[in-house]
Amino acid sequence: MTPEKARELRDGHTRCRPSPFAPQPGTRKHRELRFDHIRPGQVEEAQRLLAGLDGIDLELGQIPNSLAIWYELRDYTLEGLETALTRQGFHLDNSLYAKLMRAVVYFCEETQLRNMRVPERLIKKSHEVYSKAWEHHPHGDHDDTPPELRKEL
């Protein structure tokens, strides 16, 4: 049983379908692959091809010539999936809207992946880092003269 299926059983409802281009918290993403409407049959063929990949859930999209997909961002990205499909000879929707939405999703997923790889900053100890740096930084409050050589006034 997949974690997604366990959540569905626990919550008592089927998978929700958020807008594929709306912000989606977490690493489980729902996206929509939109294909060129001139070439019929691409959606079914892509669905058969992508069904062989682990961790991807597929359904027909809500608009014609589209395929709704769910995937874990750690495993797949929309850019990677679309690039693979394009190399296999599929033709995606190249309208201005589709290109713009694609670019935004690519950027957001790339940024989220980069942020997942960067270690979290230790916010509570950040003052200690700055204190140590201040101690080692030459400034006017520091005298390197040994105490025995200093003149007493």
Task: Give the model confidence (pLDDT) of 108-118 as tens digits.
Answer: 999 999 988 87
Task: Give the model confidence (pLDDT) of 16-63 as tens digits.
Answer: 666 776 777 788 999 999 999 888 889 999 999 999 999 999 999 888
Residue 67 neighbours by CB distance under 10 Å: 20
d(CA 149, CA 126): 36
Output DSSP code: residue 21.
T
Of residues 3 and 49, more confidence is placed in 49
Instruction: Domains for the chain: give ranges and CATH numbers.
Output: 26-117 (3.30.70.100)
The torsion of the CA quartet 89, 82, 15, 117, rounded to 10 degrees, works out to: 150
